[in-house]
């Protein structure tokens, strides 16, 4: 019998993230701890550890692992941070965030996705995540402000009302651009004089839409 075997998919998963430039050890640990195969459709579990986006319910997607890791790394999270995520989807990004900060509020417009994500997160004991069915363009005033905000669907522009929910020195990451086509991942930092914007990399996300979906 051969004495060597192909490395397990999870090992290749981590190696690929490192090769592509992810260096934050806390982010890499979180990516290793959270089982991505639990967030994809049963038919896609054989492909769960590949660096590719996969379809989920309601016409949405679970982002490719590199994009999840890159966006998370760009947030520069600390344990005391409170984070807002717009676009829960499968719940995978929220699960990663849960390992790196104090509290996550994640908002999803599709009830089916919100309910299934909540169940997954509870099963994995991501107890510091709250899943809310709601409109990502209309955050309830009672939700307060946030140290970090991450948007996981494409916005044609970042609403000022959303940027204003950042605490001082807070960071917002969002894909900005046309709904159909390529967007640019934007990093917005709230400073004493306003906001500093930095364009990062080109990405492709499903559109961020206002309101709560009437179906699904």
What is the set of active-site residues?
Answer: 63
- DSSP for 74-104, please give it: HH---TT-EEEEE--TTSHHHHHHHTTSSEE
Half-sphere exposure of 92 (CA within 13 A, CB side): 29
Q: Which residues pair with 174 in a beta bridge?
A: 186
Task: Give dist(CA 184, CA 109) in Å, integer.
Answer: 23
Q: How far is the CA of 190 from the CAs of 165, 175, 184, in angstroms?
A: 10, 17, 19
Helix (H), strand (E) at residue 150: strand 146-151
The answer to whether the beta carbons of residues 179 and 169 sit under 8 Å apart is no
CA distance 110 to 29: 30
Contact 135, 210 (CB under 8 A): yes
**Cα 18 from Cα 108, distance rounded (Å):** 30
Contact 136, 87 (CB under 8 A): yes
């Amino acid at each position: 019998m051969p004495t060597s075997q192909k490395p397990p998919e999870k090992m290749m998963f981590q190696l690929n993230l490192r090769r592509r430039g992810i260096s934050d050890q806390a982010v890499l640990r979180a990516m290793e701890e959270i089982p991505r195969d639990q967030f994809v459709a049963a038919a896609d579990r054989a492909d769960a550890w590949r660096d590719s986006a996969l379809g989920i319910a309601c016409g949405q997607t679970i982002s490719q692992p590199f994009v999840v890791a890159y966006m998370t790394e760009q947030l520069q999270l600390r344990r005391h941070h409170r984070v807002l995520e717009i676009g829960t989807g499968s719940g995978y990004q929220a699960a990663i965030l849960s390992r790196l900060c104090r509290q996550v509020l994640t908002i999803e417009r599709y009830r089916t996705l919100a309910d299934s994500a909540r169940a997954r997160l509870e099963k994995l004991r991501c107890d510091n995540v709250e899943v809310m069915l709601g409109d990502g363009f209309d955050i309830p005033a009672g939700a307060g402000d946030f140290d970090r905000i991450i948007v996981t669907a494409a916005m044609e522009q970042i609403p000022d009302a959303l940027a204003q929910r950042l605490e001082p020195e807070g960071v917002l990451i969002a894909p900005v651009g046309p709904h159909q086509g390529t967007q640019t991942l934007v990093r917005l930092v709230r400073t004493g004089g306003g906001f500093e914007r930095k364009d990062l990399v080109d990405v492709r996300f499903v559109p961020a839409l206002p309101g709560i979906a009437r179906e699904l």
